[in-house]
Amino acid sequence: MRIKETDVRICTGTACFVMGGADLLLLVEELAERWEPRGITREMIEGCIHISGSPCIGHCRESGLRPPFLTIDGQLIGEATLEGVLAYLDASCLDQTV
């Protein structure tokens, strides 16, 4: 199975971190567990899904959305939850045709 190269940036500003962002940092572990039955290893995930922490991007002040924030390939997601991100990556990263 092919995994689409994806860039995930998790805001590590204090507000995001405290309002649930800390849980997002378990993303790799959770992905590895979730995709293991499809024969995808953690190494494969780390090779394709580039997860990084980003300094506060200021959305907690500017947008009407609530923290925590992250971006997936530049697209902003507010009130992010681990479950929501997992479902998103399921749909966008896994090549279902193979």
Closest contact distance (angstroms) between CB of 26 and other proteins is 6
26 contributes a contact to other proteins by CB under 8 A: yes
What residues are paired with 76 via a beta bridge? 71
82: alpha, beta or left? (left if phi > 0; alpha if psi -120 to 50): alpha
18 contributes a contact to other proteins by CB under 8 A: yes
CA dihedral 12, 52, 27, 67 (to 10 degrees): 30
Residues 36-65 that bind other proteins (CB under 8 A): 53, 55-56
78 contributes a contact to other proteins by CB under 8 A: no
Residue closer to other proteins by CB (options 53, 78) is 53
Q: Decide if 11 contacts 68 (C-beta within 8 A).
A: yes
Residue closer to other proteins by CB (options 78, 94) is 78
Of the candidates 85, 80, 2, 76, the one whose C-alpha atom is nearest the C-alpha of residue 39 is 2
Residues of this chain that interact with other proteins (CB under 8 A) are 12-15, 17-20, 22-23, 25-26, 29, 53, 55-56, 82
